Structure 1
Amino acid sequence: MRTADPAGTIGGHAGAGAVRVRAGLQYRACLELLAKYGPEGRVIAGGHSLIPMMKLRLARPEALVDINELGELSRIEVVGGELRIGALVRHAELPGAGERNTSAVSTSG
């Protein structure tokens, strides 16, 4: 498991304002951490809105769970005739995704 630093905190020390960061986890471990921390645990994938809020002290989560490496959420696939796009699929991956996967979609008449 990777962490922000050896102590697993942002800022290099535990204490007031310190945040635990957990990354490189499996899907089930992410869910368990989020359940453990409840509303004080936040998911981070890009940090485009959460990190600036933390810098302004508008958000103070106790733990951040980094989901960037969850392959389960990065898939573009056809399941049961439907195109499924995972929550972590980047916009750059989308052009042509439907065309690449339509050969797997069966049509019934």
Structure 2
Amino acid sequence: MAVKKFKPIKFPQDEQAHSSIIEWWYFNGHLLGEDGKKYAFMDCLFKADSKKVKIPFLKSLPTKEVYFAHHVLSDIGNQKSYKKIDPLCLISKDSFKKNLLFIN
């Protein structure tokens, strides 16, 4: 059996956008409100190559890449979650070149 060697991870390059057809980044965490209430969040930013994915609507857009996002905020104490989908996110030319990911 051949052993596959992996390249070492290089930051910040490896956490930035690549030339793949679809790519995504997850942001997860726990929050504590000033009132002591506990929350959890999950944000996921997706990037798709609009010319290569097999979604007719995306192929008609005048841009090579499209970004969209899913968000969930969970109120732990009340056992409720709040979901939101952003079907289109605005990304600037330098969004992936700054020290922190920057998305409007």
Relative to the length of structure 1, the TM-score reads 0.23
Q: Report which of the two has the higher share of helix.
A: 1
Relative to the length of structure 2, the TM-score reads 0.24
